[in-house]
Amino acid sequence: MKKIVLLVAILLALTMCFTTVKAATQGAIDSSIARGLKWLAAQQKPGGHFGDPDKPNYYWVALTAFAVLKFEEHAARLGKNPFDATYEYHHQVDSGWTYLSTQLHTQTPMNDQSGKDPEQYTGNDNYGIFFSDRSDYWYSPYETGIVMMALWASASPNRPFPNHPSCATTFRDVLEDCVDWCAWAQCDGGNGRGGWRYLPYDNASGDCDNSVSQWPVLGLLSAEAPEWNITAPAWVDSELLGAVSQIAIGLVKM
């Protein structure tokens, strides 16, 4: 048996030595992207969402926002606005945002968190916005962060947001209130202080989960992009550093 194993190992090593690996050409890469986007567009449901129809509201917001994000990034790669009628996938972007608008929820009032104002830099309209396809709002910090990335990639801060609430009429307004909500929802104490969990914290202590916390962070970073320049209060970053240190010593779930 040992001889057989050794022989197989030698043959594999020789195969690796004589196999020439060629980098994909730009044409092959472009072709793969085109096929992938065509497949993705075919998965969109009549209501504009992406997701398993046999599992209603099972991450539909997250899946739809990710798909819209990909179509938007492709438009940027082509030098187009994703809503431009000449863009091949503008209908998928439009209908995706129409669906996401039906999953928008407002949070008011926006109470100070441990004495800190979550709307410190954004006008204090006393509203936050989050996205969730569940009646209990489970996963809302997870899904809201992903929608924030898609809002950024829309490259359309002044575009009217479909079915918008009275507190936010444009894409920029919605992203701004999402930033406020993320600051408001951050964990206020305990091992999870500075991170996020599957439901928001409102002046409450608990734990956090890095599988969730990464998404509000990515959403907040997207909002800071030059075309948007929406910044969370400085204390959000300071609190987050505490959560990162807890991850480092193993007190926070990965």
- The type of residue at 113 is Q
The pLDDT tens digits for 134-162 are 999 999 999 999 999 999 999 999 999 99
Element (H, E) at 130: strand 128-131
**For the ranges 5-9, 60-64, 87-91, 228-232, which has the lowest average pLDDT?**
5-9
Q: Is residue 23 part of a domain?
A: no
Give SS3 for 116: strand
HSE at residue 145, side-chain half, CA atoms within 13 A, is 25
47-101 per-position pLDDT tens digit: 999 999 898 888 999 999 999 999 999 999 999 999 999 999 999 999 999 999 9
- pLDDT score of 66: 98
CA 59 to chain centre: 12
**pLDDT > 70: percent of the chain:** 88
When divided into structural domains, the chain yields a total of 1
Name the residue type at position 75: A
- Structural domain boundaries, residue 179: 45-248
Q: How far apart are CA 84 and CA 91, in angstroms?
A: 9
User: Is the Cβ–Cβ distance between 114 and 203 less than 8 Å?
Assistant: yes
Report pTM: 0.88
Q: CB of 155 within 8 A of CB of 166? A: no
**Residue 28 placed within a domain:** no
Cβ distance 67 to 50 under 8 Å? yes
User: Looking at residues 220-249, what average pLDDT do you find?
Assistant: 89
Contact indicator for 171, 156 with CB cutoff of 8 Å: yes
Q: How confident is the model at residue 248 (pLDDT cuts 50, 70, 90)?
A: low
pLDDT averaged over the chain? 89
Q: What is the pLDDT of residue 14?
A: 43
> Is residue 121 within 8 Å of residue 194, measured between CB atoms?
no
Q: Does residue 229 lie in a domain region? A: yes
The 3-class SS string of 42-110 reads HCCCCCCCCCCCCCCCCCHHHHHHHHHHHHHHHHHHCCCCCCCCCCCCHHHHHHHHHHHHCCEEEECCC
Lowest mean pLDDT, pick from 84-93, 198-207, 237-246: 237-246
pLDDT at 253: 52
Considering the domain boundaries, does residue 137 fall inside one? Answer: yes
Q: Per the domain annotation, does 95 fall within a domain?
A: yes
Q: What is the pLDDT, as a whole number, of residue 128?
A: 96
Tell me the average pLDDT across 196-224: 93
Q: What is the DSSP letter of 246?
A: H
Tokens representing 28? Answer: 């092959």
Residue 19 lies in a domain: no
Closest listed residue to residue 157, CA positions, set 225, 106, 63:
225
119 neighbors 125 (Cβ within 8 angstroms): yes
The answer to whether residues 44 and 96 touch, using CB atoms and an 8 Å cutoff, is yes
CA angle (198 as vertex; 115, 131 as ends), nearest 5: 85
Residue 55 lies in a domain: yes
Provide φ and ψ at 189, rounded to 5°: -175, 175
Question: CA 168 to CA 209: how far, in whole Å?
Answer: 30
6 in a structural domain: no
